[in-house]
Amino acid sequence: MKRITLINGDGIGPEISDAVVKIIDASGLKIDWDVQTAGADVILKEGTPLPERVLNSVKENGVALKAPVTTPIGKGFRSVNVQLRKELDLYANLRPCKNLPNVKTKFDNVDVVVVRENTEDLYAGIERQVDNDTAESIKVITRKASERICKFAFDYAVKNNRKEVCVVTKANIMKLSDGLFLDCFRKIAENYPQINKREILVDNLCMQLVQNPSQFDILVLPNLYGDIVSDLCAGLIGGLGVAQGANIGLNYAVFEPVHGSAPDIKGQNKANPTALLLSAIEMLRYIGENTYAEKIEKALFKTLDSGICTADLGGKAATSEFTEAVIREL
Ligand code: NAI
């Protein structure tokens, strides 16, 4: 039986984790969940929102499913998410964005995968106050990080039968930093003659995405553009309740929804478990459980197609009712 770390988070985290565990269980797939608490609720008892035991569990199991955790503001704690990505060197942020049945959006043909570099760029945190009126932030782009993220995007394309990888930069202005990212893309692309290549500037990409998103297949971007564009793409498919994600490195992978811990609806049986469920389905594909991934995905799509959905999507179903409906379809 595969052992997987389950970080059940806080806020709506425990409710949606519960729902997803029940659904996977009902599919017939047996998983030995190694449940690890993290986040705001753990600070009082253990002095940190991300105790060592959580990291050790992911290192042992290799794979984790993670519900959202609250990041305490201004108390001197680093975000659990940022820390996890750093400690486990999860260099690739993967966000597949595809329309779901019956989830009404402006476009009905979106199927784009955003691959965001997760470790450097303006997020390296190298900033300085030059004087009272001037601050500087350094944008770091390295060959190592750029090549490995571009390779990740092409490998994902091959593995998932995708046709094209499009690199997104502002290399016309930032000739050295974004220029290096673009050079790395071109070099790595040579090893994948079967995949189409495309290059686009980030401003043009944003305009194209909100006019004609179906022209894009896989996008690969440095950290900052990736952060912004992946939220734009989440908006194209129906927003936070349905946006899945994953952070993947050479040795470990953490699958998690894009949304946060939604304290405003905590404990009210209102949260949409779809984003976490889609993240779990991608996780099952990652560990090679494709048959169960397809089976659960089909049940989810049938449920949505039948008009059953939670309030964030305009429906009336409680978290528990939606979960029961997916289980019935299984
Ligand atoms: P949020 O994503 O938690 O909530 C924004 C809005 O979307 C709220 O109105 C919420 O009710 C709604 N929403 C989010 N997920 C939903 C779901 N599954 N079903 C139905 N409605 C949903 O963002 P917010 O309020 O900015 O952040 C709350 C906390 O979450 C903060 O402490 C933040 O740091 C943390 N956070 C954690 C993340 C993670 O663990 N990966 C990611 C983003 C935020």
CA 241 to ligand 1 center in whole angstroms: 9
CA 71 to ligand 1 center in whole angstroms: 10
Q: Ligand 1, atom 8: nearest CA belongs to which residue?
A: 262
pLDDT tens for the 330 residues of the chain, in order: 899 999 999 999 999 999 999 999 999 999 999 999 998 788 888 988 899 999 999 999 999 999 999 877 666 667 788 889 989 999 999 999 999 999 999 999 999 999 999 999 998 888 999 999 999 999 999 999 999 999 999 999 999 999 999 999 999 999 999 999 999 999 999 999 999 999 999 999 999 999 999 999 999 999 999 999 999 999 999 988 999 999 999 999 999 999 999 999 999 999 999 999 999 999 999 999 999 999 999 999 999 999 999 999 999 999 999 999 999 999
1-99+241-330 topology per CATH: Isopropylmalate Dehydrogenase (3.40.718)
Query: In the prediction, which pLDDT does 224 show?
Result: 97
Query: In the prediction, which pLDDT does 142 show?
Result: 98
Q: Kindly calculate the radius of gyration of the chain based on its CA atoms and give it in whole angstroms.
A: 20
Nearest to 255 by CA among 56, 112, 118, 93: 93
Q: Is the CB of 17 under 6 A from ligand 1?
A: no
CA dist 155 and 161 (Å) reads 10
Contact of 249 with 87, CB cutoff 8 Å: no
Q: Tell me, what amino acid is at 3?
A: R
Best mutation site among 8, 15, 240 for ligand 1, i.e. most ligand atoms within 8 A of its Cβ? 240
CA dist 52 and 289 (Å) reads 29
Q: Which atom of ligand 1 is nearest to the CA of 39?
A: 40
Query: In the prediction, which pLDDT does 74 show?
Result: 62
Contact of 33 with 2, CB cutoff 8 Å: no
Query: Within 13 Å, how many C-alpha atoms sit on residue 73's CB side?
Result: 0
Q: Is the CB of 245 under 6 A from ligand 1?
A: no
CA 174 to ligand 1 center in whole angstroms: 33
Q: Is the CB of 260 under 6 A from ligand 1?
A: yes
CA 275 to ligand 1 center in whole angstroms: 12
Matching fold, domains 1-99+241-330 and 106-236: yes
Contact of 162 with 194, CB cutoff 8 Å: no
CA dist 244 and 248 (Å) reads 13
pTM: 0.93
CA 262 to ligand 1 center in whole angstroms: 4
Contact of 244 with 282, CB cutoff 8 Å: yes
Q: Is the CB of 249 under 6 A from ligand 1?
A: no
Contact of 73 with 63, CB cutoff 8 Å: no
Query: In the prediction, which pLDDT does 76 show?
Result: 65
Q: Is the CB of 244 under 6 A from ligand 1?
A: no
Q: Which atom of ligand 1 is nearest to the CA of 69?
A: 40
Best mutation site among 83, 231, 261 for ligand 1, i.e. most ligand atoms within 8 A of its Cβ? 261
Domain ranges of the chain: 1-99+241-330, 106-236
Whole-number Cα distances in Å, 197 to 121, 150, 169, 218, 236: 23, 11, 14, 10, 23
CA 12 to ligand 1 center in whole angstroms: 9
DSSP string, 191-235: T-TTSEEEEEEHHHHHHHHHH-GGG--EEEE-HHHHHHHHHHHHH
Query: In the prediction, which pLDDT does 222 show?
Result: 98
Please state which CATH number belongs to domain 106-236.
Answer: 3.40.718.10
* pLDDT tens-digit readout, 125-153: 889 999 999 999 999 999 999 999 999 99
CA 28 to ligand 1 center in whole angstroms: 30
Best mutation site among 36, 42, 83, 259 for ligand 1, i.e. most ligand atoms within 8 A of its Cβ? 259
Q: Ligand 1, atom 26: nearest CA belongs to which residue?
A: 260
Query: In the prediction, which pLDDT does 75 show?
Result: 60
